[in-house]
Amino acid sequence: MEREELWKSVLSELEIQISRPNFLTWLKNSRLLDVKNDVAVISLPNYFTKEWVENKYNKLIISTLKNINYSIKKAEYIVESIPKPSVLSKDPEPKALEKQLLLQETKIDPETNLNPKYTLDSFIVGSFNELAYSAAMAVVKNIGTKYNPLFIYGGVGLGKTHLIQGIGNEIKSVYKNKVKIKYVTSEKFTNEVIWAIRNRRMDDIKSAYRSVDVLLIDDIQFIGGKEKTEEEFFYTFNSLYENNKQIIISSDRPPKALPVLEERLRSRFEGGMIADITYPEYEARVAIIKTKTQEKELELEQKIIELIAKRAQRNIREIEGILNKILFYQSTKGRILALEELEKIVSEMTDKGIINISPAQIIKSVSDFFEILPNDLTGRSRSKELIEPRQIAIYLLRDMLDMSFPYIASKIGKRDHSTAIYAYKKINDNLTRNTNLHQKIMMIKELVNKSE
Ligand code: ADP
Ligand code: MG
Tell me the CATH number at 68: 3.30.300.180
Please tell me the least confidently modeled range out of 105-109, 227-231, 265-269.
105-109
Kindly state the DSSP code that residue 200 receives in the 8-state scheme. T
Q: Do residues 305 and 255 both lie within one domain?
A: no
Q: CA–CA distance from 128 to each of 125, 140, 282, 343 (Å)?
A: 8, 20, 11, 27
- Residue 433 domain-assigned (yes or no): yes
- In Å, what is the CA distance from 162 to each residue of 129, 143, 156, 276, 312? 12, 19, 12, 14, 19
DSSP conformational letter for 69: -
CATH number at residue 388: 1.10.1750.10
Greatest Cα-to-Cα distance within the chain, rounded to the nearest angstrom: 67
Residues 348, 396 within the same domain:
no
Q: 307 lies in which domain range?
A: 282-352
Expressed in angstroms and rounded, the spacing between residue 346 Cα and the centre of ligand 1 is 19
Same domain, yes or no: 360 and 373? yes
Residue 281 Cα to ligand 1 midpoint, Å, equals 15
Q: State phi, psi for 279 to the nearest 5 degrees.
A: -75, 135
Looking at ligand 1, which residue's alpha carbon is closest to its atom 21? 159
Ligand 1 atom at minimal distance to the Cα of residue 163: 6
326 and 360 in a common domain: no
In-domain check, residue 317: yes
Distance CA 109, CA 140 (A): 19
- C-alpha 308 to ligand 1 mean position (Å): 17
The ligand 1 atom at the shortest distance from the C-alpha of residue 122 is 25
Q: Is residue 108 part of a domain?
A: no
Select the more confidently predicted residue: 401 or 36: 36
Q: Minimum-distance ligand to the CA of 119?
A: 1
**Cβ-contact 104, 117 below 8 angstroms:** yes
- Mean pLDDT of the region 351-370: 79
Report yes or no on 117 lying in a domain. no
Quote the pLDDT of residue 398. Answer: 86
Burial of 265 (0-12, 13-18, 19+ CB in 10 A): buried
Q: Is the pTM of this model over 0.75?
A: no
Mutate to test the pocket of ligand 1, among 119, 316, 324 (most ligand atoms within 8 A of CB): 316
The pLDDT confidence band at residue 31, using thresholds 50, 70 and 90, is: very high
For residue 384, the 8-state DSSP code is G
**Does 319 map to a domain?**
yes
CA-CA distance, 187 to 179, in Å (whole number)?
Answer: 24
Same domain for 210 and 189: yes
324, 421: one domain:
no
Ligand 1, CB cutoff 6 Å, lining residues: 122-124, 129, 154, 156-162, 316-317, 320
Mean of pLDDT values over 107-127: 91
Q: Which of 245, 277, 309 is the last residue of a domain?
A: 277
Number of structural domains in the chain: 4
pLDDT at 21 over 80: no
Q: Is 250 helix (H, G, I), strand (E, B) or coil?
A: strand
